[in-house]
Amino acid sequence: MGCLKTGARPVTGEGKTGNGIMDGNIEEIIESLARHDYRQCGCGRVSVDGGREYLKRSGGPLDFEELSEVEVVEEGESEEERQARDRGRQTGR
């Protein structure tokens, strides 16, 4: 059982977890740091993937606690536009 949230990516930066979950069984935090950085928890029930590009989760919704904050990526938005939006947010605080 898996789930891939298309059109969504984790909010990263200061104080943010990024693409991560906490395993509800052994209470281990796992985090995917890059697009193909697949991480599985110690007991093997849940996993994360996708880094900063997309959120991929496997395991049942009751097996883990979601730690990521998610933002919706607008359809058709180019990588350049996304980066420009990120820069705007970083300088705007």
Residues that bind Zn ion (CB under 5 A): 23, 25-26, 41, 43, 45
**Least CB distance to Zn ion at residue 44 (A):** 6
**Least CB distance to Zn ion at residue 75 (A):** 34
25 vs 58, beta carbon nearer Zn ion: 25
Kind plus residue range of the DSSP H or E element containing 4: strand 2-5
SS3 state at 43: coil
**Least CB distance to Zn ion at residue 21 (A):** 10
| Alpha-carbon gap, residue 83 to 85, rounded angstroms | 5
